[in-house]
Amino acid sequence: MNTPVRPEHSGLPTTVWLASRSPRRLELLQTLGLDVKVFLAQNSPEAEALEAPLENEDPLLYVQRVTQLKLDTAIQAMRSQQLSGLVLAADTTVALHGAILGKPQNATEALQMLQRLSNTTHEVHTAVAGTWLNMNGSTNATKNTVQTSHVEFAILPDHFIQAYIACGEPFDKAGAYGIQGIAGQYVRHISGSHSGIMGLPLFETSELMRHIQTVAQAAKRID
């Protein structure tokens, strides 16, 4: 008889709040056996505005700044609803030669991005931020991490790019592609974290959650 691996077997919390509308991040956390509660402090247009890069902003600094903004926004809204527990926020960006490739707004942008990524290697930065929110509104053990992977694409044929854009998959993804989707067939090599490229690096995120829970529990015992 198989014994299920529960979160407590690996020192993880049983429940976590996810301040993200990404279905991929939700699915990745659920693979760990966590009870994931999605908390959205903003509607889609507001969330998109939060992700706007500053002029000439470094991609690595950008993804960390936006992730912290997402966490802070969620915490503020959760306080007003008297919610508590471990809260996570994350953001992913694709960078090529120091330039940020965000989510394409239309087919022309998607085409340009995919043509730039064809037959080259780019970086995928995923930042994660988390904290423990107490019932009194205070926070413990806020921690941040960022994971960088390198993705090498083979040549993306023009007819594939056109069909890929027509299917609609590129439009909610940084860099206009998802490695777990149809475009994955042209990924020649990755160096880093496959789950990080998808939107949430499981190793780094698990380490972050274990740290937050340990510190929060220690603080509770002292109180």
Alpha-carbon distances, residue 185 vs 25, 149, 173 (angstroms): 21, 18, 17
Known catalytic residue: 91?
yes
Q: Which residue among the candidates 58, 72, 91, 158 is catalytic per the annotation? A: 91
d(CA 162, CA 98): 26
Residue whose tokens read 């990924």: 187
Is the Cβ–Cβ distance between 152 and 121 less than 8 Å? yes
HEC profile for 111-148?
A: HHHHHHHCCCEEEEEEEEEEEEECCCCCEEEEEEEEEE
Q: In sequence order, what are the residues at sequence separation of 6 or more whose Cβ sits closer than 8 angstroms to the Cβ of residue 212?
A: 86, 130, 131, 132, 140, 141, 142, 143
Q: Which residues are catalytic?
A: 91
